[in-house]
Amino acid sequence: MSPSSEKAASLSDVIAAANGIILGKDTQVRLALACLLARGHLLIEDLPGVGKTTLAQTLARLLGLQFSRIQFTSDMLPADVIGLSIFDRERSEFRFLPGAIFSQVLLADEINRATPKTQSALLEAMEERQVTVEGETRPLPEPFFVIATQNPSTQIGTFPLPESQLDRFLLRLELGYPDRAAERALLEGGGRRDKLPMLAANLTPDQIAPLQQEASETHVSPALLDYVQTLVEATRASPQFIHGLSPRAALALLSVARAWAFIGGRGMVMPEDVQAVLPSVACHRLQLANSTGHARPEDIANLIRSIPVI
Amino acid sequence: MPDPFRTFLQKRRIRPRSQTAPVALEHGAIPWLLAVAVATTLPHTEHLPWWLSLFSAALLLGRGWLWKSNSRLPARWLLALLVIVGTLGIGWQYRTLFGRDAGVALLVFFMALKPMEMHARRDGLVVIMLGFFLLLTHYFHSQSIPTGLWLLAVATLLTAALIRLHGGAQPVREIVRYAALLIAQAVPFMLVFFLLFPRVQGPLWGLPQDAHAGLTGLSDRMSPGSLNSLIQSGEIAFRAQFATPLPDRSKLYWRGPVFDTYDGQTWRASPLSTARSANKPATVETSGTAFADYTITLEPHNQRWLLALELPISLPEGSALWPAFETLAREPVRYRTRYAFRSALDHVANREESPRMLQQALRLPAGLNPRTQELAGEWRNTLNDPEQISAAALRYFREEKFFYTLQPPLLGQHAVDEFLFGTRRGFCEHYSSAYVVLMRAAGIPSRVVTGYQGGETNPVDGFLTVRQSDAHAWAEIWLDGKGWVRVDPTAAVAPSRIERGIGAALPAGDPLPALVRINTDWLLQLQRLRYRWEAVNNAWNQWILGYNPQRQREVLSRLGMEDPGWRSMASAMAIFSGLCLLLVTIWTLARRTRISPEQQAWQRFCRELERFGIRRAPWEGPFDLAKRVAREHPDLAQLARDAAGHFADLRYGMGHPRQLLALKECTRQLASHRRIKV
């Protein structure tokens, strides 16, 4: 067994364990893991109660990462997220109280409830992987993985993320309702969050960085690059979308596809890998021309069907 | 004792052919096949006995209902019964099962019946092949432009049905588009084959004898009413194109059959006029400078005579001038024929005539028409000169109350007497007949000439169109020293018939030949449209249907091939087709992106896989395909996984060249797997 597949095996243990908690959502779990391995951040857009928090906590626990959560509200200030300096009387100096952002896995719940100012503070930190408070730059922990959630149905009193901010999330997922069998198992087994504390970590935080490194080195052949380019060009040429995918999106697509292939235990990226991750990478980056809204997964499926794999 | 052959097959795991189930016919393909059946049989209903049309319609409707309700098809014995009943019916109707009409009827019947036993795709193919065959039979009845367009549409439908049969369910528009594309691709080849395929005179294959039944035209006799029905027809008899200026309308006498025998009712040609040896040959002396050079496109009329302006001095090849100045072709005119004439409009015909011919031209049935005899005798006694007698007869027609009408009263035994002294209503055949009887009674040799008079110039292409409604009968008398002289008694009664055509000559209340009388504005518009349409039709006849060896030589010499033999034409055809195919191939190859050896090997594997019913979608990656194979064909799962793995390594990973051989080996194994299986 080659070293890479050994690591993939440990990753598949992680996936198997996560599937024991979040039932019937194998693809989403894999995508979330791929997102983490590709050093990106994840946006989950779905209704409350479908398991967003559980997914975040499960991933954090299984990977042995420190987890924190911010519930966003409209009166939240940037300092609440990134932290603030307060004067310590005993020592007569300013002491930095780190905010919730200083954790390895951050669940930013209902991010669209926060004001744009607070949102942008978080998003900047996500992008830079560091926080500058009062002239002092503090790096964020490694790995740093944000899972933000958005509730698409309630739009009153919310500040939906603008297009430019959406682009900062590598992937966007929808969890959706569980299927009948998974829901039955859930009902029979009781709430899954109770089992979380019993979950043992499969990996240590030190192991994550090498995994990320290795995932990013998954082999990509010229043939695959041709395929990716054809796909991206097709989004630009299609009259269905206002704009096509940006070069940054193309890079994102490639890095997620690499992580996906790596999780699958392959040393090379296949067109199938690109096809599997494309909806999650592209949907929130493409706006439909004939209606206000983002591309739906079926639009992406049609796009895939229009590009031959050779 | 076991059958040794069967044991052998079982040992080798080969199933005999009969045991392999035929490919089932898709439910969704049936409407296509029914449409084919309807489209190919429908135009034939015009020529079929009514019961057969009804029977076929009922069968097809019934099949449509069975399709809709998804019911079972009728039992075999019932179908066999239907076949026997239908075949007997056709045999009874036509008194034969062979020949053109009965054959087509049988084909139509089978076309309606076959859908009743469509179970397998093979049956669908039979329907389509039958459809293509039936399509050709439409040309027996019509070769006009609308027929051509209709057949083109049906050929597209047939192709579409074929595509549906093999290609599975797709949107109708896609199927039709594809079929139209295929037909369009055939067009250049069709044109080249049309131009270059070595022509023989007439059609390539002999048509059955009854193929020419029911062609209209002049008859070999003239009895009361025989021209009447012809005159009511608006059909085109022939078209003429003049190289010299169009002669005056009063000179447009197109000479057809000549009759010199009268039995009191019917005019016929005597054996004399057809026996060339016993007669003086027809000689035409020109007596003026008025000549006409023209080409005639004669519609088939199943008789031998060619229509020529009086009188021809230069004949087309293969025809001869007979003693009564009729131009006869060697064979009955069964196809639209083009021929060229030169006629002398001023002429003297047979200044010397054989005594037997003159005698024949004086003969009258004994004991008939006494009053006519009496009148003629009177003229003979008072007027000595034959020309004066003739003038007296014409004057009689003009001055007594004769009417020109297409609805004359019926005449009895003494037909000419009744006409001359009683009814006095009739048209050209009455006038010419009465005139000739009068002349003969007065001792002047005379005979009846039938043919066409006048014609209509189409302003669009300048062709003179002569219709059946221009059919006419006139007379000629033989004068000493002057030969045969044309006399048209109808002109004495209704000069407008000759000067302006039949529409002007008829009284207002008479039923008219179609489209003859024009008096209102919109009719004029209509006539202009008709001219245009006829010009198009004429071009079609001249260039498409009339594309004979001579035309082919003309066209090819214009293309730089002087007098080519069939060999050089065939090789030109082959060279052109080859070049076309070569160009298409080069174009396709150039458009195709160069593919690498591993792609080629993978495509070959996928093609082999298609034989197991698994077709790779264009967007499907190798691993996805392997997963699908594992689901749909578990016995091939390992093979597909291996092949996909090798291909993926070669194309997307860093595969070893040896894997290319392994991939090819997978294809080989797959092929041998198939051979063992089937």
CB contact under 8 A, B619 and A306: yes
Q: Does B649 touch chain A (CB under 8 A)?
A: yes
The residue type at B359: Q
User: What is the C-alpha separation between B527 and B533, in angstroms, rounded?
Assistant: 10
Phi first, then psi: give them for residue A268, nearest 5 degrees.
Answer: -140, 155
Residue B152: pLDDT band (50, 70, 90) is very high
Q: Which residues of B touch A270 (CB under 8 A)?
A: 621-623, 648, 652
Residue B591: pLDDT band (50, 70, 90) is confident
Residue B510: pLDDT band (50, 70, 90) is low
Contact assessment for residue B237 and residue B466, using Cβ atoms and an 8 Å cutoff: yes
**In this complex, which of A305, A306, A310 lies closest to B599 when CB atoms are compared?**
A310
Q: What is the CA radius of gyration of chain A?
A: 20
pLDDT tens digit sequence for B228-261: 667 777 778 888 989 888 888 888 999 988 988 8
Answer whether residue B165 shows pLDDT above 80: yes
Catalytic residue check, B138 = no
User: What is the C-alpha separation between A37 and A214, in angstroms, rounded?
Assistant: 9
Q: Which residues of A touch B620 (CB under 8 A)?
A: 309
Answer whether residue B153 shows pLDDT above 90: yes
Q: Residue B546: its pLDDT value, please?
A: 72
Q: Helices in B17-120 by DSSP H: which ranges? A: 30-41, 50-69, 76-94, 100-113
Q: Residue B1: its pLDDT value, please?
A: 45
Residue with the bigger pLDDT between B270 and B130: it is: B130
Chain B: closest CA distance from residue A128 (Å) = 33
Segment B99-110 shows an average pLDDT of: 88
Which residue has 């299986």 as its token pair? B677
Pairing of strands B327-329, B305-306: antiparallel
Q: Residue A270: its pLDDT value, please?
A: 92
Pairing of strands B403-404, B425-426: parallel
Residue with the bigger pLDDT between B621 and B212: it is: B621
Contact assessment for residue A30 and residue A256, using Cβ atoms and an 8 Å cutoff: no
Q: Residue B88: its pLDDT value, please?
A: 92
Q: Which residues of A touch B653 (CB under 8 A)?
A: 219, 221, 266-268
Measured in residues, chain A has a length of 310
Residue B107: pLDDT band (50, 70, 90) is very high
pLDDT tens digit sequence for B34-89: 999 999 999 888 888 899 999 999 999 999 999 999 888 888 899 999 999 999 99
Q: What CATH architecture is A3-200?
A: 3-Layer(aba) Sandwich (3.40)
Low-confidence ranges of chain A (pLDDT < 70): 1-9, 153-155, 190-193
CB contact under 8 A, B652 and A267: no
Range list for CATH 1.10.8.80 in chain A: 218-310
Q: Which fold has domain A218-310?
A: Helicase, Ruva Protein; domain 3 (1.10.8)
ipTM of the complex: 0.86
CB contact under 8 A, A305 and B619: yes
Helix (H, G, I), strand (E, B) or coil at A136: strand
Q: Which residues pair with B306 in a beta bridge?
A: B327
Residue B17: pLDDT band (50, 70, 90) is very low
CB contact under 8 A, B648 and A223: no
Answer whether residue B91 shows pLDDT above 70: yes
Structure tokens at B669: 């194994």
Interface probe, candidates A270, A274, A278, A303, chain B, greatest B C-beta count within 10 A? A270
User: What is the C-alpha separation between B299 and B218, in angstroms, rounded?
Assistant: 12
Which residue has 């490639």 as its token pair? A254
Residue B469: pLDDT band (50, 70, 90) is confident
Interface probe, candidates B600, B606, B619, chain A, greatest A C-beta count within 10 A? B619
Least confident residue range of A33-42, A67-76, B434-443, B512-521: B512-521
Q: Residue B254: its pLDDT value, please?
A: 92
User: What single string gives the DSSP state of each residue in B306-374?
Assistant: E-EES-EEE--TTEEE-TTS-EEESS---S-EEEEEEEESSEEE-SS--HHHHHHTT---TT--HHHHH
Range list for CATH 3.40.50.300 in chain A: 3-200
Q: Which residues of A touch B628 (CB under 8 A)?
A: none
Structure tokens at B651: 């194309």
Residue with the bigger pLDDT between A53 and B278: it is: A53
Residue B12: pLDDT band (50, 70, 90) is low
Answer whether residue B18 shows pLDDT above 50: no
Q: Residue B253: its pLDDT value, please?
A: 92
User: What is the C-alpha separation between B13 and B6, in angstroms, rounded?
Assistant: 10
